[in-house]
């Protein structure tokens, strides 16, 4: 992952240290949430000095956002149909929220709802998910499958899909994790079918 916007120029690259720090940041936040997340804890988990982190990231929030994005593996989806795109994106998000990075994204969203409005991490983490969904709606609009991304039904469908995934990641996480690939595919088809009906498809 390229952290060129997050770190000062000129430091030697050490991809192994980058990966250890990223994984340590996710583990630290997953364990402690915003209140207990600290660079001291990240440094201990990663086996590096805190100065090594500051050489790469300007602050703990930037590190956290980069860590979630680095492990999210956002897809470039273009199946040619709205149904296919929704299935691909919902399936990706469902799988993503079962990973440690996905769980951290959920915790950030929950923490953000209870924290002051100056904390930018929830919006910055959600921007990656929003980008994938915005591209999906733009393609569907170009194909004439929906009136446009600002249509009220599209906005409601977006909230329902994302809200369903967040809620299930918080409440049904063990049950979702127990599903095999076929089970997750069935879950995805069921939700997408409801979304398509809502969109008049």
pLDDT above 70: residue 150: yes
pLDDT above 50: residue 2: no
- Neighbouring CB atoms inside 10 A of 1's CB total 13
Q: Check residue 65 and give its pLDDT.
A: 93
Residue 22 and residue 85 in one domain? no
Model confidence pLDDT, tens digit, residues 17-76: 999 999 999 999 999 999 899 999 999 999 999 999 999 999 999 999 999 999 988 778
Can you give the pTM of this predicted structure?
Answer: 0.80
Region 179-193 average pLDDT: 91
Region 78-98 average pLDDT: 92
Q: Is residue 56 part of a domain?
A: yes
Residue 105 and residue 41 in one domain? no
Say how many domains are in the chain: 2
Residue 107 and residue 126 in one domain? yes
As a whole number of angstroms, the distance between CA 195 and CA 95 comes to 19
Q: Is residue 160 part of a domain?
A: yes
Residue after which a domain boundary falls, among 35, 70, 105: 70
Q: Is residue 33 part of a domain?
A: yes
pLDDT above 60: residue 119: yes
- Neighbouring CB atoms inside 10 A of 154's CB total 21
Tell me the pLDDT band of 3, cut-offs 50, 70 and 90.
low
Q: Check residue 4 and give its pLDDT.
A: 43
Q: Is residue 10 part of a domain?
A: no
Lowest mean pLDDT among 1-10, 74-83, 151-160: 1-10
Q: Is residue 187 part of a domain?
A: yes
Helix orientation angle between 121-142 and 152-171, rounded to the nearest 10 degrees: 130
As a whole number of angstroms, the distance between CA 196 and CA 201 comes to 5
Which range of residues forms the domain containing residue 20? 15-70
Q: Is residue 59 part of a domain?
A: yes
What CATH number is given to the structural domain containing 20?
Answer: 1.10.10.60
Residue 151 and residue 55 in one domain? no
């Amino acid at each position: 992952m390229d952290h060129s916007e997050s770190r000062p120029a000129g430091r030697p690259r050490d991809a192994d240290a980058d990966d250890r720090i990223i994984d340590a940041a996710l583990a630290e936040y997953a364990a402690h949430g915003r209140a207990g997340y600290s660079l001291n804890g990240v440094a201990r988990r990663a086996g590096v000095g805190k100065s090594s982190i500051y050489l790469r990231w300007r602050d703990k929030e930037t590190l956290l956002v980069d860590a979630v994005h680095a492990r999210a593996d956002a897809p470039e989806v273009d199946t040619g149909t709205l149904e296919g795109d929704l299935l691909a994106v919902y399936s990706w998000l469902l799988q993503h929220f079962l990973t440690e990075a996905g769980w951290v994204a959920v915790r950030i969203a929950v923490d953000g709802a209870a924290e002051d409005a100056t904390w930018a991490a929830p919006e910055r983490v959600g921007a990656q998910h929003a980008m994938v969904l915005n591209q999906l709606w733009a393609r569907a609009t170009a194909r004439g499958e929906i009136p446009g991304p600002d249509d009220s039904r599209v906005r409601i469908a977006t909230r329902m899909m994302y809200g369903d995934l967040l809620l299930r990641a918080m409440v049904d996480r063990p049950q979702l994790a127990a599903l095999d690939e076929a089970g997750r595919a069935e879950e995805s088809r069921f939700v997408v079918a409801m979304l398509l009906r809502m969109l008049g498809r």
